[in-house]
Structures are given as C-alpha cells and as structure tokens.
C-alpha cells in the first residue's frame, strides 16, 4: 500500500454513489477516482458493493479523495452523496455529513419533504435527450464536479477518454458538460 501516513486532514473528501446495477454507478466512481489519482495528482480509492445480480440489484460506489494516502477505503461520513434510486436515498441519507452535498436524480428519487438543500436534476432524462440513458452516470458526475470542484473538469475528461470505448467518448463528454453547466446555472442551492 502507498507509503506513509494520514487521511484525517481536512483535505479528504468522501463521496458515495448509490443506485441499482446497470446505471453505471461503479463506473461513475471509477471515473471520479481516476480523475483524482491519475490526472489531479491526488490520492484516491474507489470501492464498490453490489448484490449477486448483474442488473437490478442495489449498487454503490465509494470514492475517497485525499492529499495523502487513503487508509480506510469506505465512506463513513459522506461529503457528497449522489443517489439514482429511491432505496439508495433511504439507505444512505443518514451517511451524509450535515452541510454535505446531496445530489438526486429527480426522475427516480423523491426526497423527504423536510430534506433541505437537495440538488436535484433529471439526469436520466437529460441523458436520454442527449441520445442514451447510458450516459446518466456521467451527467450526475458532471453535476457533482460542477457543484463541488472535487476534481477538475480537465481531469474528468481525461479519465473518460482513458476509460470508455471510443464510440462513447463524445456522448459522455456531452453528458459531462450538460451536468456541469446545470450545476453552474443553479449554483445557489
């Protein structure tokens, strides 16, 4: 494991993605982690859990990004929680730190009425309008990056180019921009 010491400093971000298998939850986590670890010069770990089903089971990805090597690889208190499924919202909402960023796909998640400061976007719908709902994960990722700046846009783009199939790159970059510009246009929430 990488040498030395700490990830308790304030420069650590804990991000959790929650949804169902087939939504690209794990890929969103890996793209974010790769952007941080390979292109932003940070330390990053991505872990995922899933049920035995290939599609349709609960899926989650945790990403820890830090200026120093990451020891414990799972989210304990999320700085950012992005959920694309009602059950994921119900299960993981309590993991979000007070003041943390909550991002939901409004077409799939209905936050409870007393939940303040929810960042909602119709990510699946946006992806469909761009050509394929397969890009939903990258719309969410773009929004997350635009909202929080946890990694740079350039790094995410580099991560996408280094990861996804050639024929998907254009769609994913459009999805990234769509998510980012939406985050910047309603940046006050």
Applying CB under 8 A, the residues found at the interface with another protein are 1-2, 5-8, 29-30, 33-34, 37-38, 43-52, 70-73, 76, 159
The distance of closest approach from Cβ of residue 110 to another protein in the complex, given in angstroms and rounded to an integer, is: 29
The distance of closest approach from Cβ of residue 2 to another protein in the complex, given in angstroms and rounded to an integer, is: 7
What is the pairing mode between strands 78-83 and 96-105? Answer: parallel
Q: Which is nearer to another protein, 52 or 113 (CB)?
A: 52
Q: Which is nearer to another protein, 144 or 182 (CB)?
A: 144
8 A C-beta contact, residue 132 and residue 68? no
User: CA-CA distances (angstroms) from residue 87 to 25, 81, 103, 110?
Assistant: 14, 13, 14, 10
Q: Which is nearer to another protein, 48 or 86 (CB)?
A: 48
Nearest 5 degrees, angle CA 7-CA 70-CA 65? 85
Q: What whole-number distance in Å separates Cα of residue 184 and Cα of residue 179?
A: 9
CA contacts within 13 A on the Cβ side of 1: 12
Q: Which is nearer to another protein, 51 or 131 (CB)?
A: 51
The distance of closest approach from Cβ of residue 111 to another protein in the complex, given in angstroms and rounded to an integer, is: 28
The distance of closest approach from Cβ of residue 59 to another protein in the complex, given in angstroms and rounded to an integer, is: 11
């Amino acid at each position: 494991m990488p040498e030395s010491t700490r990830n308790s400093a304030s420069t650590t971000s804990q991000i959790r993605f929650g949804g169902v298998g087939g939504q690209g939850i794990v890929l969103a986590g890996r793209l974010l982690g790769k952007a941080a670890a390979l292109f932003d010069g940070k330390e990053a770990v991505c872990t995922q859990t899933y049920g035995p089903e290939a599609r349709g089971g609960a899926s989650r990805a945790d990403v820890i990004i830090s200026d120093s090597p990451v020891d414990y690889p799972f989210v304990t208190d999320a700085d950012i929680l992005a959920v694309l499924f009602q059950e994921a919202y119900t299960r993981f909402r309590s993991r979000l730190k007070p003041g943390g960023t909550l991002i939901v796909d409004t077409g799939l998640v209905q936050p409870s009425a007393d939940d303040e400061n929810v960042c909602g976007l119709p990510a699946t719908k946006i992806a469909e309008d761009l050509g394929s709902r397969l890009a939903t994960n990258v719309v969410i990722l773009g929004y997350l990056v635009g909202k929080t700046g946890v990694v740079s846009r350039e790094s995410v783009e580099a991560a996408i180019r280094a990861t996804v199939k050639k024929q998907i790159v254009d769609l994913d970059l459009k999805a990234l921009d769509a998510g980012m510009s939406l985050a910047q246009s309603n940046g006050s929430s």
